[in-house]
Amino acid sequence: MNAIIISLICALCWGVADLFYKAGTDNNDKHSHLKIAVWVGIAMVIMAVCCLPMSESHSSLGELFSKYFITYSPASVSYIVSMVIGYAGLRYLEVSIVSPVQNASGAFSAIAMVIYFTFFGKGNLWDEVSVIDIIGSIIIAAGIIALGIVEQKLSNKELDLTGENKKYRFGALALIFPILYCIFDTIGTSFDGVILEGKHGLGLGENDVLVLYGLTFFVAGIGCWLFMLIRNKKPYNPFKKSEIKKGAAATAEIGGQIFYVYAMAKNPVISAIVVSSYCIISVILSRIFLKEKLVASQYACVITVILGIILLGVSEGIGEM
């Protein structure tokens, strides 16, 4: 299975996760983002336990942590920070606005990885990037950015600009969440590419990364649970029926994480771009399940991204011939 297909499966999983993240977010609950983090921590530790026996080069968890925990910490910490920021931002912004803005990180991380592999990596990554790859990546990035602009304009017309809506969506908070997410996700994705890419990067095994990331997120989830226990004076129960949407989001999240890691190991630069297109899936799913309609400009953005993905698929196919 090539990197494009794996990346698209990841994008589908994360698009579904986005939908459930928003559905499971309570705008009136100031700890809603922490509760989501607890659920993702639970799902991640299950993933880590399942992947540990398949760890590529390590016989024990202690050996894995002693050799590579520090190496992978910048990536895992950056991801966890970006995701919790993203969960918090859903209280103030619509998914259709947040997702395209946040996913600009795909383009930024691709640029960062190209620079690293060119000047510090093992070999010349440009030998494996064709003109079609570059054109396709630019088209996808342009479509995602355009979608963010279109969604912002549409939301300006739809939102009630009085009272709390105006405060939440157009104040400083509305801007800082997606920007911070983009920054930290760019750092995490760039480190992942460098760590996972075997030919030009550090070549840390896929299952090793899944174990390290899953356990790190589990620790973060425990921290969130303890924080709420101290603040609220009562334990948070993630297994209540009312929390099932958070569980669904976490399940889709780990599905995407598994495919993401394998895609990044195959082709980190191209995969980062394709995976970032999951915002398109988020928008489409929100329209389907929330019964909202896409306007012509939104269709144009979606078609643009699809065209870019097709170009990358054609390039991948030519390269394997």
Would you state the structure tokens that stand for residue 117, as one six-digit string?
């592999």
Would you state the structure tokens that stand for residue 285, as one six-digit string?
């799913």
* Mean pLDDT estimate for the chain: 78
pTM of the model: 0.79
- As for how many domains the chain has, the answer is 1
**Amino acid letter for position 76:** S
What is the arithmetic mean of pLDDT over 213-223?
A: 92
**Amino acid letter for position 36:** I
Domain carrying residue 106: 3-320
Say how far apart CA 216 and CA 44 lie, in whole Å.
9
Q: Which tens digit of pLDDT belongs to each residue from 98-107?
A: 666 666 777 7
Q: For residue 59, what pLDDT is reported? A: 56
Say how far apart CA 172 and CA 152 lie, in whole Å.
15
Phi and psi based region of residue 55 (left: phi greater than 0; alpha: psi -120 to 50; beta: remaining):
beta
CB atoms within 10 A of CB 262: 21
Would you state the structure tokens that stand for residue 70, as one six-digit string?
């520090």
Helices (H), 24-104: 32-51, 61-89, 95-102
CA distances from 128 to 117, 125, 267 (A): 12, 6, 9
Say how far apart CA 252 and CA 239 lie, in whole Å.
17
What is the arithmetic mean of pLDDT over 238-266?
A: 92
Q: Which tens digit of pLDDT belongs to each residue from 261-280?
A: 998 888 887 888 888 888 77
